[in-house]
Structure formats: structure tokens, C-alpha cells
């Protein structure tokens, strides 16, 4: 997935009201939209290098969108709205070895009246989870806050097996150079316990990391999932 405009680099001042970030660019301060509803734990230290895109749509209140943050010399993609675009690009380009043979990609698959999953690829349901939590040098984690929605999705994925679907959760790790992933059970133990139940029931879990720069973000390689 390529960025359609040049990214602007700045320094993070603060995030507030959940969806606003103040950023210093040269000698000016701009306010950008923060397209991430998570806690963004570990990413929001003042002075971190950040990159934003600019949108000239006159109907937009905020013209800038936060895209990347650099933490511990690693770029992290924080725009959760781009996660499905990155995965869709990877599916079309056959970058996931598990899905190289799929013939049909349906985004926003309506599974039931109260549940949509990110993709249906033939009989494979794929639910994407964007991963930005980095508390160790080579270990990414999810979630960064309690996720009742994520837990609900796990139960629905287990249910889908009865209907002859093949369900997957894809942890999209938008953190540069990471080789390992695990569930952050100290943050949401309920999600972790339901993860174990879903895994035993037959839901497949995958973690792939991205390569990131100011031009594009795309799928790079599969990484290890560590169970503890």
C-alpha cells in the first residue's frame, strides 16, 4: 500500500481527546487527526518523531492525519484505517503463503446481523487486528487495551466453523523489524482465555509484520506467535 501524498515529518507534542494530536513541524504547531482508538501504549512520548499526511478536502476539519511514529528506532504504523488496505494488497499480491490459492476476496463480509468480518476469501474468514504495542525489543503484543469487541469476534469465529468456514485471525504487526508476537494477557486476560478456547476449537492465528517507510507500508514476512 503506497501513500498517495508525501509524508510530513515532525515531533510529537501530545495526544488528547483521543482523536487529536499536536505536532511540531519546523517552527509551527499543527493539529492532526489520530486514526487509532487504542491506548497507543508506549508510543506517545513527547518528542517522538512522527509522520503525517495532508488532505486538502475542504470538508475535512483536520487537514492532517497521523500515520507513523518512531519508537526505539522502529517505525510503527498507527493509522488503523489503513490496516485492511495493507492486508487486501497482500492478498492480491499473494504475500500470505496461507492464502496464495484463493480466488475471490470479499471485504467487509457480513457474517450475521450483528457481525462483520474484514474479509471472506473463498471459505476463509479473515479478521484483521492491527498491532502497535511494543514493550520488548523483539516482541509485539495485542491488545493494548481491553477489547470486548475482539473477544466477541473470537466467539463468532468459533461459531463459523460449524458453518464450514475456515476462520483466521491475522495480527497485522505494523512495527518495523519485529520477529515475535504474543497476546498481552496482563492487559486483557479475558481476550487471552478466549484466544486459547478459539485456538483449541480450530480458529487459526497468524502474525505477519510489515515493512514501513515514508513511501509505503506492505506485508513483509510471517513472524512467530508465542503462547505463554
pLDDT of residue 220: 97
> Measured between alpha carbons, how far is 41 from 196 in angstroms, rounded to an integer?
24
pLDDT of residue 188: 97
What letter would DSSP give residue 153? H
CB atoms within 10 A of CB 160: 21
Q: Which of 132, 122, 130 is nearest to 91 (CA)?
A: 122
Cell of 60: 475535512
Tell me the pLDDT tens digit for each residue of 159-171. Answer: 999 999 999 999 9
pLDDT of residue 61: 86
CATH ID of 80-225, from 3.40.1350.60, 3.30.70.20, 3.10.20.30, 3.40.30.10:
3.40.1350.60
Residue-range domain boundaries for the chain: 8-74, 80-225
Residue numbers of the chain with a pLDDT score lower than 70: none
pLDDT of residue 107: 97
> Measured between alpha carbons, how far is 189 from 8 in angstroms, rounded to an integer?
38
Give the domain 8-74 fold. OB fold (Dihydrolipoamide Acetyltransferase, E2P) (2.40.50)
> Mind giving me the DSSP string for 56-103?
--TT-S--EEEEEEEETTEEEE--GGGHHHHHHHHHHTT--GGGTT--
Amino acid at each position: 500500500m503506497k501513500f498517495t501524498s508525501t509524508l510530513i515529518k515532525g515531533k510529537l507534542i501530545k495526544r488528547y481527546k483521543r482523536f487529536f494530536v499536536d505536532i511540531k513541524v519546523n517552527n509551527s504547531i499543527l493539529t492532526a487527526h489520530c486514526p487509532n482508538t487504542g491506548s497507543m501504549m508506549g508510543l506517545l512520548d513527547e518528542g517522538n518523531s512522527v509522520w503525517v499526511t495532508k488532505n486538502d478536502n475542504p470538508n475535512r476539519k483536520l487537514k492532517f492525519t497521523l500515520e507513523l511514529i518512531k519508537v526505539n528506532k522502529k517505525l510503527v504504523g498507527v493509522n488503523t484505517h489503513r490496516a485492511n488496505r495493507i492486508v487486501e494488497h497482500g492478498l492480491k499480491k499473494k504475500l500470505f503463503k496461507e492464502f496464495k490459492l484463493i480466488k475471490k476476496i470479499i471485504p467487509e463480509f457480513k457474517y450475521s446481523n450483528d457481525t462483520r468480518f474484514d474479509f471472506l476469501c473463498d471459505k476463509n474468514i479473515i479478521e484483521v487486528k492491527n498491532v502497535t504495542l511494543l514493550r520488548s525489543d523483539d516482541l509485539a503484543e495485542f491488545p493494548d487495551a481491553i477489547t470486548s469487541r475482539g473477544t466477541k469476534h473470537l466467539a463468532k469465529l468459533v461459531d463459523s466453523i460449524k458453518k464450514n468456514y475456515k476462520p483466521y485471525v491475522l495480527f497485522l504487526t505494523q512495527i518495523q523489524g519485529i520477529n515475535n508476537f504474543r497476546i498481552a494477557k496482563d492487559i486483557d486476560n479475558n481476550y487471552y482465555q478466549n484466544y486459547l478456547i478459539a485456538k483449541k476449537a480450530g480458529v487459526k492465528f497468524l502474525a505477519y509484520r510489515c515493512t514501513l517507510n515514508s513511501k509505503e507500508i506492505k506485508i513483509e514476512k510471517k513472524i512467530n506467535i508465542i503462547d505463554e
